[in-house]
A = this chain, B = another copy of it.
């Protein structure tokens, strides 16, 4: 059901001819209100694509009436002319939607290759087609049109018994910072929520979901997460209840992103426990998640805990080397910084691998998700462009 699960939204997904393959490449999501509240979280990469610079400004206004998204081109590192293309895309979208729409309330998202101008001759007429196909059942098609190297489209929905819904779609295989391929996420809700609460709920949700998946340590120039509220359910939920629904949808989509990461054969859940602070836990988790040697070992189903310790050793977290413990799939292969239980006991046949790193330094914890490093990842990313 995707972005049209919540009342007050229509969507469309079409093939505008941006992709040479002829696959769907243009998606449109429209908020018909009565509310037009919106929040957004964007890449922390300092090299930002034109649509990110544009959409950050749009979201600052607090109201978003439509999101136009294209795959087939990132419109990043395209200079002032690339920014003009984004501007024209928003203008054309508002114009095609009708009088009550203003370009300043149209967010724009792009994904694909960096450093190439968008084919505006295809994109602009495509907007008319997308508007003509807008439907309260268009969520799936929109989710399909934003795919790039994704093997499947990703959607998630949480319905509250109180009569409101949070739904969303995602593309990519990465995270806000950093992320493998660009991650684009559009969430919609018909809950009646004011902009400040929307913003607070979105930031809280992304901090522990999209921000804690780290497929390959690379940060995109285009990552964007938008949350639009129509208020069409006429139900105003309590903040905690609403924030939990947003978090659940984000968590679901984040897991789908990791599950579809380019070339991956394993989903790796790294839980850092007994850290002195949450920041320490996250730093250690990320360091483990970014260790290429470990990621190769896990691909080979080798419970190489030495590479986990080696990764922990590069951090500034509070710990003593001879108090570290590491479990892989429940087997404590490293105890007190040295050999623990028999590594032959670790069963690594399944796609999900669970690593627990016990810092023995406090009571905080964090979970980071990553993938293994495979020959397929290399192949996909050495043959993707050019």
Contacts and interface: CB of A to CB of B under 8 A. Distances in A.
B290 A217 contact: yes
B378 A374 contact: yes
Contacts of A337: 47, 77, 79
A208 interface: no
Interface stretch (A133-141, A156-164, A292-300): A292-300
Interface size range on A against B: 35 or more
A364 interface: no
Contact of A381 (B44, B178, B293): B293
Interface in A314-362: 314-315, 319, 321-322, 324, 334, 336-339, 343
A218 B382 contact: no
Given A79-B338, A219-B314, A310-B220, A296 B46 contact: no
B381 A375 contact: no
Interface in A363-386: 373-375, 377-386
Contact of A304 (B48, B291, B378, B385): B385
Contact of A310 (B114, B290, B297, B383): B114
Contact of A386 (B82, B302, B312, B339): B302
Given A221-B313, A338-B77, A382-B302, A293 B216 contact: yes
18 contacts: A45-B313, A46-B312, A46-B313, A74-B306, A76-B309, A77-B305, A77-B334, A78-B339, A114-B307, A114-B310, A115-B339, A218-B292, A292-B292, A296-B381, A300-B383, A300-B385, A301-B386, A375-B379
